[in-house]
Structure formats: structure tokens, C-alpha cells
Chain A
């Protein structure tokens, strides 16, 4: 039996998606893509401090990327599609792995240890769910404008300012960004571990890099609502 199965050549992709390590790899890969996007997104957001002109023309420029090869906004749609695919793959893999993990420990210990892992590690699953919900709200708010108090296409600066003048929007946004920071803090190092990039010599550096990334991204994103609330941006 063992010999017969040895000669079977399942496709690498099928093996990847079929194994726990493979699913984690998918999560790590999609996580890294989303992280790269978030870095760019955060840097773009900070242009808000240069005023509505700069910011709105930056937003308009985003729609021209790839021209004249690509039609207007095509690049953006490609990117959006890729990102949605990432979110879905990341989420589906996480869901399937979580179910498997729960099944692997059907009976819990009677003596529950005070948790030892970091807060970030322990909140990956629920943090991920919160971020998923936030993404939906965020798209409805600032991409489609459906939930935005102003919601005028082509005027993102004004939409943002309108948004963050509502206290609960600030609250949701800042809470989500803190969740994002925590998620990245464990996720970045974890992705390195999953993709096999970690080693004993790199372990500390990777953990430090994860902390820095988490802090910088959270701070970068939170700056915007804070600036609106304090009137620095209006």
C-alpha cells in the first residue's frame, strides 16, 4: 500500500491546500500581500496632511496606474480583485484550520493555565474576524461611500473628514487599527515562521521587525482620525 501511494504524484497545489502546513502557507502568503498593501495604503493616507488638493489628486492618480496599457481604473480593479481573493483565501484557510485545531483537542484541561502566549497570539482568530467585518464596513464607508455621511465620489478628502467627525466612526476605526496592530504583531513573525524564513539567528530580529511594523502601521493609520478629531485636518 505504502509503495503504491509513493508513486502517485498529486499536484503540488493540491498537496499544499490539503495539508495544514500548506494552508498556513496560503495564510502567510496572502498575509504578506495584504501587509504590503497596507504599508502603501498607510503611506497614501498620510498625504492627507498635505491638504485636499494633494490628497484628491493622489486618489485620482491611483486610477491612472497602468495607463495607457490598461484602461482607466483597471489597475485598481485588478488590485481590488487580488486583495479580495487574499482576504477570502486567508479567511477560508483560517476557518478550516481553526475547525481542525478545535477537533484536535476535543476535551479541554480541567486546570486552565493562565495563558502564557502573548495577547496578540491569543487574539489572532477573533481579531481576524473583527478585521474581516471592519473591511466590509470600511469598503462600504470609503470605497462605495454607501455608509459615509457625505459619500461623494472623487472627493475622498472631504469624505474622510466628514467620517471622522462622527465619534463612533473614530471609535470603530481606532479599535480596528489596534486589532490590526495586534494581528500584524503575531502575524508577521508567524508568516516568517510558516514560510520557513525564521531561524534561531533571525528569531529576535523578526520579532522586533514585527513589533515595529505593527506599531508603525497602527500609528500611521490612527494619525488620520486623530488629526481630524483635533482639527489638524478639516
Chain B
């Protein structure tokens, strides 16, 4: 199939960017979206133009590196990561708009590459269980009810791609933050730091310049891993509980 692509090109964070139009031909429906961009880039190199920069790595939907807004939707029309989106979901002759994640907390580095290090700082503010190597008790010392283990797992599936922030009209990172809070706070191992974790992570999230939640649900719709919207409610519950208990926050 032949396609028209309109891609956001921006040389660096300091320079202004614009949508630029490209034509690609003979695209196989079995290609992934990134493979289609590979084809474009190979052509651009041979034509002496700059290829389009985009983040990608595992190309099997788990590392969370890839992510672009395709026709206004984070990761495109299917509920999956960009690397697992295949061209069979487009029609011959389509015009496809490709843009980077847009959020103040995710400044554009180049073209479709953005800086998501704000996520790392949110995790650093409490998204862990303090268990220095060597200090662990026998694994079976604390049984974990299956239900709690399953809830923890389901939230631990977050790949940190940032689609939730990109899709949210407010550029909010509530779904990302709540996934980690719920993962760790549903486990007995996470209980001792339950309050400081949620207070610290929420404060960091606000500090990084993400917007607030208006419960539009766009994040959960875009999430390629299906982190559920009620996860945010669970984090709010944890947050209010921590405030009531007067646990030391980090702000």
C-alpha cells in the first residue's frame, strides 16, 4: 500500500518543529508501524535527508521505549504499543499524522523522541520497597493471598511508555503513578512504607509538572497494558489515608 505520512520534525529541544509530509510506497500490511518508518528512514538516508528519530528497542511491546501519537491517538488505533501496531490496520492511500508525546513534563528531544525521565524521578520518590540485598527473609515467610498477588501483578505490568500522559488532556501521570502505588501497596512487603510511598510519589509527580486528573479516562483507554482506571481511585484512597495518618511526607 502507499501512504502519506505527516510527521513532526524538530531538530532539537531548542529549535521549533513542524509537521512535514512524506510519501511511502509498497508498504506491506504485515509490517509493524516502526518497520514502515524504517523503510522511510532508509529512503531518507539515501536521498541525503535526515531520517526521523524515534525511540524503540525491544519491538515486542514490553520495554516501553516506543511511543508516538498516530492520528491523534497514543500508540495509534489499536490498544497496543506502537511496535506491535501493524500496517494492516491502515488503508492504501491513507494520510497518517505522527506526533511525539505532548506534555510539559516530556520535552521533545528530537522529532518523535521525548524525555521521559520525569517518570524515573517519580519512581525514585518512593516507587520501591526498601530491601537491601542480603536482608531478605525466606520467601515463604510471608504468604501473600493470591488475590493481592494478582492485583499487584496486574498493576506491575505498566511498561512506563507514557501513553497515559500523552492521551490525557491534562498531561497527567496519575495512571502511571497509581500503577506503582497499587502494585507495592497491595503487598504485605510494601506495607511498612505504604504511606511515605504514596505521599512521596504524588509530590514528585506534581513537582515534575504533570497535570491533574479530571477523570476523563483517556489514560486507561490508551494504556497498552490495560492498567484499569479504578487504579487511580485506589491511589487516591491510599493518599487520603496517608494524610489522615499524618505520615511523614517528603515535601
A interface residue numbers (CB < 8 A to B)? 2, 5-10, 12, 15-16, 18-25, 97, 100-113, 116-117, 121-122, 124, 186, 189-190, 192-200, 202-203
Assess A111 versus B69: contact at CB under 8 Å? Given A19-B206, A104-B209: yes
Instruction: Chain A residues near B73: list those with CB within 8 A.
Output: 113
Instruction: Report which of A9, A18, A111, A121 forms a contact with B99, defined as CB distance below 8 A.
Output: A111
15 further A-B contacts with Cβ under 8 Å, apart from A21-B235, A200-B230, are A15-B203, A15-B251, A18-B251, A19-B203, A20-B202, A20-B212, A21-B240, A24-B212, A25-B236, A104-B105, A105-B170, A109-B99, A116-B218, A186-B215, A196-B233
Q: How distant is A57 from chain B, measured CB to nearest CB, in Å?
A: 42
Instruction: Report which of B72, B244, B250 forms a contact with A112, defined as CB distance below 8 A.
Output: B72
CB pair A12–B244 under 8 Å, yes or no, is yes
Provide 26 A-B residue pairs closer than 8 Å at the C-beta atoms, listed in order of the A residue.
A8-B248, A8-B251, A9-B246, A10-B249, A12-B243, A15-B203, A20-B206, A20-B211, A21-B239, A21-B240, A25-B240, A101-B212, A103-B104, A104-B171, A105-B102, A105-B169, A105-B171, A107-B102, A111-B72, A112-B72, A117-B216, A193-B232, A194-B236, A196-B240, A200-B228, A203-B230
Q: How distant is B151 from chain A, measured CB to nearest CB, in Å?
A: 10
Q: How distant is A112 from chain B, measured CB to nearest CB, in Å?
A: 6
The 9 closest A-B pairs by CB, nearest first: A196-B237, A104-B211, A20-B212, A101-B170, A113-B72, A104-B171, A198-B233, A111-B97, A101-B211
Q: How distant is B135 from chain A, measured CB to nearest CB, in Å?
A: 19
Instruction: Chain B residues near A24: list those with CB within 8 A.
Output: 212-213, 236
Q: Taking the complex as formed, is B129 at the interface, i.e. its CB lies under 8 A from any CB of chain A?
A: no
- Kindly name the residue among A7, A25, A113 whose own CB sees the greatest number of chain B CB atoms within 10 A: A113
Assess A193 versus B233: contact at CB under 8 Å? Given A104-B104, A113-B72: yes
Q: How distant is A63 from chain B, measured CB to nearest CB, in Å?
A: 37
Task: Report the Cα distance A202→B233, complex, angstroms.
Answer: 11
Residue of A nearest to B198 (CB): A21
CB pair A5–B251 under 8 Å, yes or no, is yes
Instruction: Chain B residues near A192: list those with CB within 8 A.
Output: 233
Task: Report the Cα distance A102→B104, complex, angstroms.
Answer: 10
Assess A104 versus B103: contact at CB under 8 Å? Given A10-B251, A20-B212, A110-B97: yes
Instruction: Chain B residues near A200: list those with CB within 8 A.
Output: 228, 230
CB pair B104–A116 under 8 Å, yes or no, is no
Q: Mark B73-112, 1 if CB is under 8 A from A, else 0.
A: 1000000000000000000000001010011110000000
If over half of B's interface residues share one DSSP class (helix, strand or loop), that class is named, otherwise mixed; here it is mixed
Residue of A nearest to B213 (CB): A24
Q: Taking the complex as formed, is B210 at the interface, i.e. its CB lies under 8 A from any CB of chain A?
A: yes
Instruction: Chain B residues near A104: list those with CB within 8 A.
Output: 103-105, 170-172, 209-211
Instruction: Chain A residues near B216: list those with CB within 8 A.
Output: 117, 121-122
Task: Report the Cα distance A92→B84, complex, angstroms.
Answer: 43
Residue of B nearest to A11 (CB): B246
Task: Report the Cα distance A12→B104, complex, angstroms.
Answer: 28
Q: Taking the complex as formed, is B217 at the interface, i.e. its CB lies under 8 A from any CB of chain A?
A: yes
Instruction: Chain A residues near B196: list those with CB within 8 A.
Output: 6
Q: Taking the complex as formed, is B221 at the interface, i.e. its CB lies under 8 A from any CB of chain A?
A: yes
Instruction: Chain A residues near B6: list those with CB within 8 A.
Output: 110
CB pair B104–A196 under 8 Å, yes or no, is no
